[in-house]
Chains A and B, each alone.
Chain A
Amino acid sequence: MPALDPAFLAVQALSGLSSASSLFITACGLTIVFGVTRIVNFAHGSLYMIGAYTAATLVPRLLELSFGPVTFWAGILISAIIVGLIGVIIEVLLLRRIYGAPELFQLLATFGVVLVVQDLVVQVFGPQDILGPRAPGLRAPVEILGRRFPSYELVLIAAGPIVLGLVWLLLRKTRFGVLVRAATQDRDMVASLGVNQALLFTGTLFLGAFLAGLGGALQIPRVSANTGMDLSIIAEAFVVTVVGGMGSVPGAFLAALIIGQLQAFGILIFPKSTLVVVFLLMAVVLAIRPYGFFGRAEIGGGTHAVGIASRSPLPGRGLILLIVIAVLAAFPLVADAYLLKVATEILIFALFAFSLQLLIGVGGIVSFGHAAFFGLGAYGAALAVKWYGVSMEAALPLGLALAALGAGLAGAFVVRLSGIYLAMMTLAAAQILYAVAFQWVEVTGGDNGIVGVWPSSWASGPIPYYLLTAALTLITVLLLKRIIDAPFGYALRAARDSEARAEAIGLKVRQHRWLAFMIAGAAAGLAGGIYAFSRGSVDPSLLGISTSVDALTMLLLGGIQTVVGPLVGAAALHGLRDWIMPLTSLWRLLLGLSIIAMVLIFPRGLVGTVRDWWGARA
């Protein structure tokens, strides 16, 4: 086997080391920020991207003024400092206001920043990818065991340990470092001792953003700055921080080393499945060590859970239900084909968001990868059509079953975790499935997806398909509602509000959560299956992060404390998207800003706000 050639192995290992180094620099910032602020900053990848764009634009201009290594490295440093300052702006404007908010809101708010930055970067730097200049003096390769190796990569390999050393010095030998470590240990105690928290947090964000910017800027000689950088690095940086243990810098270093080598050699063994290896590693590590290599359990179990409260049933529920059924059934009489299509999609998303409500609102299980089950349902149905030629009637239950099965499998690992590790595990599950759908081309069609998934003839056409969707959605939502109001639902709520007390009175918390996970997964799978037939095709984006975020946004928009919130949220978000998206190319900017505004201004959502207002009047 030629792969055993020692020179080749050496070069491959060095490539792995240099990727590891770059990854560590970025992930190190993420983990420091998390340690102090307890916020998982989705926007960290965006800061990395801004660093790359800034350096790729700035450094060539500087090199024109005076060509030389000093200028190049000064340019890299300036870019990183600029990004650090952007980090400060984000802290002051946004993060400062949500330190006390539930994790879910924090994740969503920082994801809002991701969306805003995606559009802003295109506006500021233009749509083209920008290839940065090579580092002066490092253009020529070096010979290693008779093979050429880029000398810049050697510099990168050195950069990782240098940054590790500097960060270690900063954390161990300065007052700022002492405070950062103290805040990582116990934030409230640091505050009680009279430390200026605002300054400490702003400083931490500067450091984190600086490192993200540095990581991005260092990439410009090897990678062109492009608009996809943010999500691809953030996914890897999450893996590094989670595997290493959230908040642990040495953990991040070790994890980055492992991942770098895994990628370098993985390409030889599985040239087509490079994406899946990384997330599999994360899942395996979390399954064995729930807090990563060097992470600790979160102290005090200070639960951030928010969710639906118990209310006495509304008078006249039966009548309301009848009206809803009548309105849904009569809608085709007034709507044209396109409006029916939109209504069908709204119903599907409503079911999808409602199934997530069972997990988050009722169970307090903040899933950041609910798209996994939506996608499994869609793929299950589409694969059944493609490979076995079954009809829609058989394909929908098969999709549902696959989603329930997937949820059972993922849930078995997920329910052992809590808090942010749990959210990351669900994200990992979704990303693994995404990678499988994306790279297992023979079965799933890869990026091509599967086309030709059309409904049976009796259900094709906008009106019958709308009615079918409405019926299935309504029945499932009522079933789920029944489950929420049953003792099972109350047990989930008890576990959400106080896990320790729930266990003390004999509730089997894990089993309950596991079952909830499967039910929610199955319902999401049904939604996914219906969606596949409404579009005629499936593709990996159904499993992607943005699909998960869509569901969360609907939940947040409608109001997380209410049962009907997700239904209203789905209608509002999808309706707005359909209305605004054709009018503007800045849809992501608008969406991102609205998510941030919702988190900051009315975190209770549409339904919650209306109800409060109603309650105040009464």
Chain B
Amino acid sequence: MATTSTIRWLAFGAALALGAPAAQAQQAPIKIGELNSYAQWAAFTVPYRNGWQMALDEINAKGGVLGRKIEIVSRDDGATTGSATRVADELVSREGVSLLFGSFLSNVGVAMADYANQKKIVYIAAEPLTDAVTMAQGNRYTFRIRPNNFMQVGMLVDQAKASGAKRWAIVAPNYEYGQSAAAVFKRLIQERVPGAQIVAEQYPALGKIEAGATASAIEQAKPDGIFNVLFGPDLTQFVREGNTRGLFEDTTVLSLLTGEPEWLLPLKDEVPEGWTVTGYPWDEIKEPKHKAFIDAYRAKYNDTPRLGSLLGYMVMTMIGDSIERAGSTETDAIIKALEDAKFDTVIGPVTMRGIDNQATMGAWVGKLVLKGAAGGMTDWTYQDGASFMPTEAEVKAVRKD
């Protein structure tokens, strides 16, 4: 241990001595902080890291932004609120990063939004979907690219109208994301489907579902529609128990995110066909620009893309564009460059709405189907986020800034 560190210090000293003139000739890179739950939620975050890495390589190959390369300092956020803000503090005060992006769980996203507000640094939420990040807990430093719960649930509820289901059961993980999605669903289903009622609610702890007992408790209420917010290992177990018990037969199921390959692939051939889901049917996408991204990703990583891959790529390119437009790495300049900015992304134009810092990125809505040995989506459409966002009045009513 002692030898390694001695060698490291010697090497460091040598690098300083020899590298100093060279470093002066070329400008120092722009440092950006990134944190995500790479250990705990690898299914989503590893493809997401591949995505931003790919975009980063492209940006730096073109010479970076503002004539400087971009350097990402990436850390594991530990998947808890306290650990994430601690890591963020390290990135900001030791590494001196210009802005932060990342995080997976919604509760972590809310804590990061609070941190960004306290420390006055830009934070771009990657995956946290709870409305709170851009609504009640929103602030001028916090931005989000993905469609939030309100938008995605809105898309699903529109599909629910046609099904005629009235007796709804909710199953959602008992933390910020699940609570937020369940609350939005309760509100929207009663507003938009006359006569709808909630007959059962199950909130298993995240990652700790008792799937058999949960499935039979829902079955007991005899719902004709189920709204599911589970994902990851909870979802896999719930689907298997539900399939065995016939819970999904003759039942309309609306499910958030289940069409995303990261959650669909582990289900293998037990995909619950006919569920109406939001997701990412990458295998059927034809738009040339988007297709080119998918092909490049597959060539680079020898793997199929997940939604995380697309998101990581989009976030990184949008950050690059924003810094370029801001002309500096000052927080206020970056905020100005982000607010109401239009971005030309691989999925088409996306606007960052200034009033709540929520982007208009949409989602793919369709039905689950078995394709060979694994699941996929069929009958899908891309729903643009702009038409599902909360109204400006709603935003103004809940935001504190």
Contacts and interface: CB of A to CB of B under 8 A. Distances in A.
Contact of A448 (B175, B220, B241, B245): B175
A2 B240 contact: no
B217 A267 contact: yes
Contacts of A538: 82
Interface in B27-44: 38-40, 42-43
Given A131-B267, A275-B208, A585 B76 contact: yes
A222 B211 contact: yes
Nearest to A14: B212
A272 B114 contact: no
Interface string A440-460: 010000111101101000000
A585 B46 CA distance: 13
Contacts of A389: none
A141 interface: yes
A271 B203 contact: yes
B131 to A, nearest CB: 13
A223 B205 CA distance: 15
Given A129-B43, A141-B245, A454-B118, A274 B266 contact: no
Nearest to A16: B213
Nearest to B232: A129
A438 B212 contact: no
B237 A222 contact: yes
B133 to A, nearest CB: 12
B175 A446 contact: yes
A536 interface: yes
Given A15-B216, A448-B110, A541-B82, A227 B40 contact: yes
Nearest to B113: A451
B93 A537 contact: no
B241 A222 contact: yes
Given A337-B93, A441-B179, A272 B266 contact: no
A441 B115 CA distance: 21
B174 A222 contact: no
Contacts of A148: 244-246
A267 B210 contact: yes
A226 interface: yes
Contact of A129 (B205, B217, B233): B233
Interface string B82-111: 110110011001100000000001110011
Interface in A102-159: 122, 127-131, 134, 141, 147-150, 153
A125 B241 CA distance: 25
B220 A2 contact: yes
Interface of A: 2-3, 5, 8, 11-12, 15-16, 18-19, 122, 127-131, 134, 141, 147-150, 153, 221-224, 226-228, 232, 263-264, 267-268, 271-272, 274-275, 336-338, 341, 438-439, 441, 446-449, 451-452, 454, 535-542, 578, 582, 585
Interface of B: 38-40, 42-43, 46, 75-76, 80-83, 85-86, 89-90, 93-94, 105-107, 110-111, 114-115, 118, 137, 174-176, 179, 201-208, 210-214, 216-217, 219-221, 232-233, 236-237, 240-241, 244-246, 266-268
13 contacts: A16-B213, A128-B42, A129-B43, A131-B240, A147-B216, A148-B244, A148-B246, A222-B240, A267-B217, A439-B174, A446-B176, A451-B111, A537-B114
Given A127-B43, A128-B42, A536-B85, 16 more contacts: A122-B42, A147-B219, A222-B240, A338-B89, A338-B90, A338-B94, A446-B107, A447-B176, A448-B110, A448-B176, A449-B81, A451-B110, A451-B114, A537-B81, A539-B107, A540-B80
The 6 A-B residue pairs with the shortest CB-CB distance in the complex, in nearest-first order:
A127-B42, A447-B175, A448-B107, A451-B114, A338-B93, A338-B94
